[in-house]
Structure 1
């Protein structure tokens, strides 16, 4: 039995309404999947709402007729903000994709002193659009109905200025302590440097903001591996897999 396609639409989802799914969704439904009139589709708005839908008149004036709401996959009980040093090419794309699948609430891409990738204003906007598309595709694939908030790329100091209060703040550091992972956490801010890690000055800034250095073990991991392992550990300890009751 084939899986019903899941599509993100940036539209209000009102039962009985016919909506234009947008160019991206139309291309995927009609040209990639080659669906025909009457095909069932699941749609979500990125804000936690999910509905069944039916494809109408594909290829001409493609519309989706919105059906009743369906139960969306619940979000993790652990809110996670990932501050990620921008790495090269597909490495950063992988972090965005897998962090979305792992339930991250917010992603703040940052340029640090040792960042290989340097972005001017135009490239920042292009990268933001590119990463947002990756996050949307990841939500469509993994079943999430809520898109993570994706911040425009900026500097580390900027990313550390408006952190949510009452959060556990962890900084990935080769010489950190695994004991930082023992405490309880309901909201987490995770800081991961780029290739080459954070500079000593940046580490001091993070420490002054309340970040605790922690390590994932004796082996040196690539930045994209470290971020995803840390997120999986956090979800295991405090989020999706934490025993309740």
Structure 2
């Protein structure tokens, strides 16, 4: 038997025919005879939050049926139409019902349910009604988790969306677009931008290039470019308004 110290990178992906497939944690990703190989492999802990802006078909009075809520309680429940695809993992599934977010109600602020719902979902905080840059909500639970466990992954958190994120101005009845186009807040006054370009998401995770060496070289090149343009960035900020400066601080 021949044993080597070679192992697959944990971020190895299968690539071909224009598709990319991520691999789960494999034994081959742990170097042979290493301390990690002799110990039980502990998968990286992850948390994900998927927001459905307009909710699910759950209002029996309005629709005549409930397509979301399971039938029954405890272990012997029947999955609903929407949740049926999760049948294979039902033993690891917990569906919570009867939850409410009172802070998403108007509380005297008038219309703006969509903005309030998005801003309140992971913060539990009633957002400040404003069209300007003085937005305020709360730190979201994903960022609280990232602060404790983010060092286990290359990126502490990753914010992705389907829609193109519009981040400037008034998007709903006096509410800033920043309330509507992100569900993640690093601090009560720092909404994190969402990314909807799959290529950008992939490159943030793995870097550009087809091999690990190429991606490392690309990251080093990008770092050099960033160092080179630091002076230009400072000059640019001096020419921008307060709103654009805030966006620059988030992105750069």
TM-score class, shorter-chain normalisation, is under 0.3
Normalized per residue, which structure has more strand?
1
**TM-score between both structures, scaled by the size of structure 1:** 0.27
Normalized per residue, which structure has more helix?
2
Q: Which has the higher contact order (CA 8 A, sep 6+)?
A: 1
- Bigger Rg, which one: 2
**TM-score between both structures, scaled by the size of structure 2:** 0.27
